[in-house]
Amino acid sequence: MNQQRITQMAGEISEKFEKGSEIKHAIEQRVEQHKLKKEFLNKKREYLLNNVRQINMKFETKKQLLYDNDTFKNLTDYESKICNSQANILSIQQYIEHKQAETN
């Protein structure tokens, strides 16, 4: 009976060791897969960052060209003059309304 129990326990121990190595092997495979995926994602990230930098440089160049353009400068000046004129018109209208209220 003792011999049978010892044999059974030895079998259980060897099964657990086999399962342990299977689990260890599966974990090592997953770790390797994750490393490869991380490398791929890092390369993709660098590629996308470079694309963003290039697009940003193109944007800044076009923006500077726009700011240097005489038409843009003129339109900006006209826009500023229109805003000032609208403010002046509003203040004159308020002044006229105030004077009309005083005369009535």
Residues 20-75: tens digit of each pLDDT: 778 888 899 999 999 999 999 999 999 999 999 999 999 999 999 988 888 888 99
Give the number of domains in the chain. Answer: 2
pTM greater than the 0.75 cutoff: no
Q: What is the structure's pLDDT at 1? A: 66
51 with 62, same domain: the answer is yes
59 with 79, same domain: the answer is no
5 with 16, same domain: the answer is yes
5 with 50, same domain: the answer is yes
Residues 94 and 99: their CA atoms lie apart, in Å, by: 9
Residues 11 and 17: their CA atoms lie apart, in Å, by: 10
Q: What is the structure's pLDDT at 50? A: 98
60 with 19, same domain: the answer is yes
* Contacts of residue 72, Cβ cutoff 8 Å, sequence gap at least 6: 66
H or E stretch covering 77: helix 70-103
Report whether pLDDT(78) > 90.
yes
35 with 86, same domain: the answer is no
Q: What is the structure's pLDDT at 52? A: 98
Determine the structural domain holding residue 51 and report its residue range. 1-68
